[in-house]
Every structure is written in structure tokens, then in C-alpha cells.
Amino acid sequence: MQEQIVAGDGKEPGAENNQGRAMNLPGGIAEAMRNNPVLPALGQSVMQVVRIASDDDNAVQELARFVLSDVSLTQKILTLANSVQYRTLARAQVTSVSRAIYLIGFDAVKALAMATLVVEGLAGAAAQLARRELLNSLAASLAAQELIRNKRRNDSESLPVVALFMNLGRLLVAVYEPKAYQQIETLARKTSENEATMEVLGCSLSSISSAVLRNWQIPQTIVSALAPAPVKSAGGAVNDQDWLRLAGQFCADVSAMLYAGGKPDLAQIARKLAYQYGDALQISNGVLIDLLSAVQRESAFLSRFVQMPADVAAESVDTHDDMAGLESLVLNVAPDEAAEAQKYYPSGKPVNARELLLEGIEEMSEAMASGSNTPIDMMRLTLAVLSRSLGLRYVVLCMKVKSGQYLPVAANGVDSATRKALFTWPQTGTDDLFHLALSHQVDMAIADAGLDNIVQKLPGQYRRMVGDAGSLLLLPLQQGKQVIGLIYGDRTACAPEGITREEVLLIRSLKAQLVAGFPARS
């Protein structure tokens, strides 16, 4: 049943050249790779989405351009953004894909885009089986997003993609080898799925996934993460690649256990997952139950948009126009979720910082569109948005001037006028934190400003006046490649919760809006 095909000629940095590599694939899949234009074309589209990096300044714009290139995908994303669940976060109808991405979440849109591409690309006689497997993949990707909210790793941004592809082998077998798929399901009731697959196909599902993804020239880090993880790794994953493999398997198991049939017992599933993954992934039973609940809720909602039924497609954005201004009366948010939006971390940062930043970006856009605001007005508005969205006690914006100094031009918060005078310093200086942020043009979020290595890097005049800060935020402002200013913010308490990836993108968007209103500098 197996055939060999040759992979594409791409070479991933740090990976071996794939040209000429022979891959054993079941006959139906090999035939599709060789003669069916759908699968290779699908691979090119999926690769485009995979390579849109979430930490890139232009990531949202790149993802928006990709979504807009597909009419069906654009319809799904905009319909989702204008659904009642998201309209309660937005003040008006969402007509921009970029704003939809900010509203829904970058990773969620990216996962939904890939899931939509795959399920529509593989639609056919086995469409129902394909859709079932794709929904499992989508749930796994949502589990990945929940896992990395608090478990940041160097390569954690790849995890939602890895999780989405963990089920690719099953999906491809379901579409191109439906008889073998049924045989595997029957045998798997008596033995393990891996043994059943080896008996029927002569290869593992993960090897099928890896072979196809290599042919699609997906980054090697993601392909390697599909290899089976240890059954139990009590000692913990030793490096980022091992963590990615183990976390990807965890997400696949979350999806499989939630959708094994019947009503899932979340407490029992959490216990099983805690035993197998708790030590290695450092995740407790209580956190697991919350994660399972979130995945169950979000996947049930998002699954409607993977292959949009007629009743969902008919729910156009106009459906909710008569509810304008009444969104707060709609009983679609559970009481505990509504209360969550009003909560703060111990540092003072609002739990719903993402939504507050999104509202601030809308406010900035409206202020800029009015044409009645001066640059200093926009600076003050930016500081106000940052202050309320991130729970900052004090925030100041300093601009570079021709005299060779950075001077404070706008401030917001406690003792603004008194503290403002502090933030004057020369353009050229030592290796203190301010100059490091400016010279390297990097945003800095310092969770604990009391650490010795941080205190030693603070300018002397700063330590005398604002040395009681518990956490800091330093945001250089650039116009092209030129640094023109710096935004400083602080809180009285440490902020171990940090800044999420989506919040970083929103903060960068806020900065870009502000700088766009500045006159060009020579």
C-alpha cells in the first residue's frame, strides 16, 4: 500500500536539505501528492500562514492580507468578529479584517485560517470524516493557546501550529484512504491506534504527517515536534524541542479525550493529564480543569466557522444592527466571565488588558480621523490608553530634541508634574536601561524592578525619584530607522503576569498610530 515520493527542494535554516528525500506514504496519499493539484496547492497556502510570525511588527498586516486574498475566509473571519460573542467587546460593526484579528486574537485567527484551508481543500467523499478530524485539530490548537498563556517558552509560538498538525496523519488517511481509516478504527478498539496503523498501513500516523509537511516545506522545528513523545516524562522536558514535542502531544490528547464520545468528565480527564504531563509541563490539576473548560467552550463556538453551515452563513453582520447600543443586555457571557473582565492582577494590571488596548486603538483612530487633534493631544491620549489598559501608576513620553537631549513632553498619572522633570537625559550615554532600550530599539517589560541587576542599570536621577517602582515598561518610538522618543511607565508592584503576545502587538500598533501623526524628521 505504500509508495515513495520525493520531497520538495526547500531548505529550512538549521535543517538538512530535503531535496531528493524519499518518503513512504500510503498509496492514496502518494497519488494525491503526485497527481492531485489540491494537496500541493494546499501545502503552499498552509506554509504561507505558518510563516507569518506572531512576534513580527507586521504580523497582523500580513495575516490580514492573506485572509483578504480568500473571499470565503474573509467572510468567516468577519462573521465571527461580528457574532454576538465578540460584538460585546466591540463598539461598532467590525468591517476591517485587521480589527477582526485584534478582536478575535492573532493565534485564533491563524489557527482558524489553517483549519479552514485544510477542511475546504480536502472536502470530498470523505468530507464528514475530514471535518471531524479537523475539528479535533482545531481543539488541540486552542489547547495550545491556553497552555502557553502562562507557560512561555522560547519556541512556544510554534505550539498552536504543532498542535494543529498533530492530527494531520489521521486526517489525510480519512480523506485519501477511507477504507484503511475504518480498518484502523476497528482494530484500535482491541489494540493501540499506533499498532493498528502499523498493521494496516505499515507506517505510523506521525510519519505520514512528517512526510507531507516536509514536502510542504514547513519549518523543521514544527516537523520534528510531531515525533511521538515519551509516555510519561516525570523529570520534565530538558530542552525547548522536547518541550514542544511533549506539549504538542498533550494538546492532541486534550482534544482526543474531550471528543472521545459522550459527555466528557473534565475532572477525570484532568487527573489523567496531570499524571502523564503534570510534572513535565508544570501544570496543576486545577489549571487543567480550567484549560479543558476553555477549550470545550471555544472549540464548540469556533467549529461553526470551520465549515460554515447555511444557518451560520446567513447570520450576516446586519443581523445584529438592531442591537446597536444594547450589547451589554445580551445574556451571552457567563457571570463569572463578566466578573473576570473587571478583575486586576496584584500588580494593578487589568485582566482584560487586551480588550482595553483594542478600545484604545479604536479611540486613537477616531481622534486621528477627526483632524482636530494636535500631535501633543495624540501623545496625551496614547499615555492615557496605556495607563488604563496596563494599570500604570505613572507614564511619561520623552522626545529627542536638537539640543542633544531627551525632554519630557507629556505625562499621565500620580505626581505627573513633579516626576516629569526627572525624565531629561542626554542622547548619548552609558549602558543604563534607558539608553539600552533606545540604542537597540527594543521594547522592555521589566516584571521586577527591584532585582539587583536591574537597579544597577537605572539612571541615578531616576533611582532618587522613582526608585520605588515595582515593574517598568520602556517603549522606544521610531520613525523609520530613527529613534525619536521613549515612553516610560511603571507600577508600584511587581508584575509576574508579564505582557502577552497579543498585548505586545496591540501596544506596537498604538505606537505606530502615534508616530504616524508626527511630522517627518530629516
Instruction: Give me the CATH topology for the region 23-52+105-310.
Output: Hypothetical protein af1432 (1.10.3210)
Residue bearing the bigger pLDDT, 230 or 333 = 230
Domain with CATH 1.10.3210.10 in the chain: 23-52+105-310
Q: Using 50, 70 and 90 to split pLDDT, how confident is the model at 392?
A: very high
Residue 347 banded pLDDT, cuts 50, 70, 90: very high
Give the list of residues 6+ apart from residue 389 with CB closer than 8 angstroms, or none.
Answer: 350, 353, 356, 357, 360
Per CATH, the number for 353-516 is 3.30.450.40
Average pLDDT of the residues of the chain: 77
**Amino acid occupying residue 3:** E
d(CA 112, CA 70): 13
Q: What is the pLDDT of residues 239-284, one digit of tens each?
A: 778 888 888 999 989 988 988 777 888 999 999 999 888 888 888 8
pLDDT number for residue 330? 30
Cβ 122 vs Cβ 175: under 8 Å: yes
Helices (H), ranges, 177-322 = 178-188, 193-201, 205-215, 220-224, 240-258, 266-281, 285-302, 310-313
pLDDT of residue 340 exceeding 80: no
Spell 262-289 as b/e; 16+ CB within 10 A means b: eeeebeebbeebbebbbebbebeeebbb
Query: What is the arithmetic mean of pLDDT over 154-168?
Result: 79
Residue ranges matching CATH 3.30.450.40 in the chain: 353-516
Range picked from 106-115, 144-153, 166-175, 488-497 for highest mean pLDDT: 488-497
Give residue 89's pLDDT band: very low, low, confident or very high (50, 70, 90): low
DSSP state of 519: P
Q: In the prediction, which pLDDT does 130 show?
A: 67
